[in-house]
Structures are given as C-alpha cells and as structure tokens.
C-alpha cells in the first residue's frame, strides 16, 4: 500500500479512533467515515495491535523483573548491614556488662560493688584488652560521650565517685 503524506495522517487518525473506541467500548467501529481511497488491510491492522500488546506486556515484564531484582538487592544489602550492626551491638552489650559488674567495679574490703565505677580503672590498656577479647575493630569506653562517630554506641547507668553521682558509662565500637 503506497500512501501519500496526507493520507498517512488520516490513516493514523483512523487507527487512533479505532483503538480508542475498542479501548472504551470494546467494539470495533466500522470504517464508513474513512477515506474511501484508503484500503486498510485488516490482517496487518490486527498484527499491529498484537505487536503493541506484546510490546507493552514485554515492557511490564522487564519493569517487574527490574523492580524485583532491585528490591531483593536492597533487602539483601540492608539485612547484611543489620547483621553486622547486631553483632557489634551484642559484643558491646557483653563488654559493657562485664565492665559494670567486674572490670570497672569498685572494690572495697574485698567486696566488688557492681555499677559503682572506679574512674581510675578506665584506661587505654583496659579498653584495648576488651577490644582484643571481643574481636572488635575499635572500642571506646568512657564516662563522657565519644567525640568521634562509631557505628554502634550504648551506655549503662552507673554511680561514680565517693558521693556516688549518677552517670553514664559509654561503650561504643565498630
């Protein structure tokens, strides 16, 4: 079929009308209003619709696959990050509990007082020994908030000094 430029426009308009009517009412309009000179091949038209349907369906399938892969990748990434943070958190909880009850607890007349912290016992050597035991990359133990960022930070409520002031013992690591 050899169509001129103006006839091509009419043909496209006709095809759009047929498509929108089919879409809205589900019936194919007759072609009585169309330019009589144009012979529309019904078989080729049907092939066009099938190709369009196949194209849109394929596009949706590709988008579904992309969406699924992205979501799974994101979930996997966040779960691995969570798993690492949870491991660090568990180790810090263990280290803090040991420090509060034994490692940094005050001793008087051979009796240990859990939660009553001996400030002088908080040293770099003590922190390093805890870091080695817990196999963490870095650890911070102090009565003051850490100045640098750690991936996980916890605290315990303790008493400090002879007058047993309420304070927080920060245990952070990563």
Partner 1 sequence: MQSFEALISFLFFVFVCSYIIPSFSYDTQANSLYHIQLAEDAWRVLYLRDNFKDFDDPSRPGLEKDLDIIKEQTGLCVFIDGIVFTSCRNSADKVHSKTVSITKTVIYDGQLTTLTLSLQT
Residues that bind partner 1 in the complex, under the rule CB under 8 A:
22-23, 26, 52-53, 55-57, 60, 63-64, 67-68, 71-72, 75, 78-79, 82-83, 85-86, 89, 93, 96-97, 100, 113-116, 154-159, 164, 166-168
State both tokens at 8: 């091509």
How far apart are the C-alpha atoms of 29 and 167, rounded to whole Å? 83
In angstroms, what is the minimal distance from the CB of 5 to partner 1?
A: 28
Q: Smaller CB distance to partner 1: residue 26 or 36?
A: 26
| Consecutive H or E run containing 66 | helix 42-98
Q: Smaller CB distance to partner 1: residue 38 or 113?
A: 113
In angstroms, what is the minimal distance from the CB of 33 to partner 1?
A: 23
In angstroms, what is the minimal distance from the CB of 55 to partner 1?
A: 8
User: What's the chain's Rg over C-alpha atoms?
Assistant: 37
Place of tokens 């949870």: 86
Q: Smaller CB distance to partner 1: residue 141 or 158?
A: 158
CA 36 remoteness from chain centre: 60
Q: Smaller CB distance to partner 1: residue 1 or 166?
A: 166
How far apart are the C-alpha atoms of 49 and 30, rounded to whole Å? 17
Q: Smaller CB distance to partner 1: residue 7 or 113?
A: 113
How far apart are the C-alpha atoms of 49 and 55, rounded to whole Å? 10
What 8-state DSSP symbol labels residue 63? H
* 99 phi and psi angles, rounded to 5 deg: -65, -45
Interacting residues of 54 by C-beta distance below 8 A, sequence separation 6+:
none
In angstroms, what is the minimal distance from the CB of 164 to partner 1?
A: 5
In angstroms, what is the minimal distance from the CB of 97 to partner 1?
A: 6
């Amino acid at each position: 079929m050899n169509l001129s430029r103006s006839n091509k426009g009419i043909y496209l308009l006709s095809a759009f009308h047929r498509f929108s009517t089919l879409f809205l009412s589900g019936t194919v309009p007759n072609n009585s209003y169309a330019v009589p000179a144009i012979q529309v091949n019904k078989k080729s038209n049907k092939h066009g619709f099938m190709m369009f349907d196949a194209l849109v369906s394929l596009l949706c399938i590709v988008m579904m696959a992309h969406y699924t892969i992205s979501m799974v990748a994101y979930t996997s990434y966040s779960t691995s990050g969570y798993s690492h943070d949870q491991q660090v958190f568990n180790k810090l909880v263990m280290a803090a509990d040991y420090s509060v009850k034994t490692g940094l607890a005050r001793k008087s007349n051979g009796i240990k007082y859990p939660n009553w912290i001996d400030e002088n016992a908080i040293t770099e050597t003590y922190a390093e020994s805890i870091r080695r035991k817990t196999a963490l990359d870095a650890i911070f133990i102090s009565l003051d908030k850490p100045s640098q960022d750690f991936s996980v930070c916890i605290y315990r409520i303790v008493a400090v000094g002879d007058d047993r002031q309420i304070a927080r013992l920060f245990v952070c690591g990563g």
